[in-house]
Amino acid sequence: MLILVTGGTGYIGSHTCVELLNSGYDVVILDNLVNSERSVVDRIAQITGRRPLFYHADATDASAVDVIFSAHPIEGVIHFAGLKAVGESVEKPLTYYRNNLLSTMVVLEKCIKYGVRRFVFSSSATVYGENEVPFVETMELRPRANPYGETKAMCEKILSDAAARHPEMSVALLRYFNPVGAHESGLIGEKPRGVPNNLMPYITQVAQGILPELRVFGADYPTPDGTGIRDYIHVMDLASGHLAALEKMGPGVHIFNLGTGRGTSVLELITTFEQVNKVQIPYRIVGRRPGDVAACWADVGKAQRELGWRATRGIEEMCRDSWRFQQLSG
């Protein structure tokens, strides 16, 4: 079975390609390399012993995408391609709306044209916004007030409306919580360009001495230690969630949270990272980051019941694998 993975050289996409290839799927990657490197294809081949096909193409380019669909007997699509930096989306809203909405529509149109019935979409817990934790799939969406979050909510709507018109299609809207960690080989992982926005890559760069200290954004939240709480999920668990969705979902639209169901504070993550990896993380508490919520974690019951999937790796493994990748790559 051949799967098209858009954004397949990116962080989550590359780990999902490893899971797909290891499970016997054939893989075609489409990526414009705006936030990843071609060498990731070699790394995937090194890990799995199988080489995915790679197209350097833009998912918003309808004719380029058409060439791929016409050349290969694709049976399912996992659509990771997208821009994901919240702050940048405020600076460049049209770039975000254009890239994230158009790429989704183009790939979906080609699925419909070529009779590809399985479509898995990378959504985000950001669509829950200020709802009460834990977040449940049935909650009304309140995407955080930034263009990035809006694109995820809009893509969910576009996919749902199209699937209603094409009842033969199976669409999974996967709402990721906070992916961290790396493949245990340390060959692939998250490699942000410039100064990281997210907590774990920032911590690993502080650990390596690339950055002098971590700024903890707020210690006055209504949480036990005052710092923000998130549901960190190991990227390999997230990857296996995609396979479960591909294999188990029937026709229609299916929304799943992919998280662990457990929350960890910023200070807890720092302490665990220091203990597991035997390194110091100098940090300083500063003011809150605008737009952050106090707490965000998943109700994971639906994914467990309907996909038979659950995350198995804990915070220690996430810290260990993130650090191994940083040491090998940085």
Q: For residue 114, indicate whether it is catalytic.
A: no
Spatial separation of the C-alpha atoms in residues 38 and 16, rounded to whole Å: 16
Rounded Cα gap, residues 287 and 268, in angstroms? 18
For residue 202, state whether it binds ligand UFG (rule: CB under 6 A). yes
Minimum CB–partner distance for residue 81 and ligand NAD (Å): 4
- Shortest distance in whole angstroms from residue 93 CB to ligand NAD: 15
Beta strand ranges found along the chain (DSSP E) = 2-6, 26-31, 53-56, 74-79, 118-124, 170-176, 178-180, 214-217, 229-230, 232-234, 252-258, 264-265, 283-286, 295-296
Give the residue, chosen from 6, 126, 151, 264, that forms a contact with ligand UFG under the rule CB under 6 A: 126
The answer to whether 142 contacts ligand UFG (rule: CB under 6 A) is no
The structure tokens listed for 245 are 């969705």
Q: How far is CA 112 from CA 5, 57, 159, in A?
A: 16, 20, 12
Q: Which entry of ligand NAD, ligand UFG, none binds 228, CB below 5 to 8 A by partner kind?
A: ligand UFG
Q: Which is nearer to ligand UFG, 54 or 176 (CB)?
A: 176
- For residue 167, the minimal CB distance to ligand NAD (Å) is 26
| Residue in 211, 224, 198, 196 with CA at minimum distance from that of residue 295 | 224
**Complex with ligand NAD: residue 235 or 267, whichever CB lies closer:** 235
Q: Which residue is nearest to ligand UFG (CB)?
A: 228
| Number of other CB atoms surrounding residue 290 within 10 Å | 10
Q: Between residues 21 and 125, which has the closer beta carbon with respect to ligand UFG?
A: 125
Active-site position among 128, 148, 176, 221: 148
Q: Which residues are catalytic?
A: 148
Contact residues: ligand UFG, CB under 6 A: 84, 86, 124-126, 177-178, 197-199, 202, 214-217, 228, 230, 266, 289, 292, 296
